[in-house]
Amino acid sequence: MIGKSAYKNRIELLQGTLDMLILRTLQWGPSHGYGIVQALRTQSGEALQVETGSLYPALHRLERQGWVQSEWKQTESNQRARFYSITRTGKDQLASDLSRWRQMVDVIGAIMQGEPRGDEV
């Protein structure tokens, strides 16, 4: 169970990354769950297959945080679907997520590129 305010696992890389990716996708315009999966797949060159088992909980979590909002609309193929769009606070969150992510990439990158200097026995 998740408390009212605590946004759990923010530092947990995987979950945090999924939230960030969803927000990023929604920046290009409102989309439904299937659309988001497809977008992420194409964007990543078919490399990233998002589990639906994580996607929907993530979407509902983001909605509770007030970072996305949803409404039922018709798709181009005339199906009723729930469209998610990013909110203002969601955009702020994305920006801060992005800078944290960049920082982390830099830090990890620096560590990983450095030559191992230990004395070999």
Residues recorded for the chain = 121
Least distance CB 97 / another protein (angstroms): 19
CB of 5 to another protein, least distance (A): 12
Site pattern 35..74 for another protein (x: CB under 8 A):
---x------------xxx--xx--xx--x----------
Gap between the Cα atoms of 3 and 17, Å rounded:
21
Kindly state the smallest distance separating residue 121's Cβ from another protein, in Å: 48
Our finding on whether 4 is near another protein (CB under 8 A) is: yes
The answer to whether residue 15 forms part of the interface with another protein (CB under 8 A) is: no
Which residues are 69's β-sheet partners?
85
Q: Which of 19, 21, 31, 33 binds another protein (CB under 8 A)?
A: 33
Q: What are the residues binding another protein (CB under 8 A)?
A: 1-2, 4, 32-34, 38, 51-53, 56-57, 60-61, 64, 75, 77, 79-82
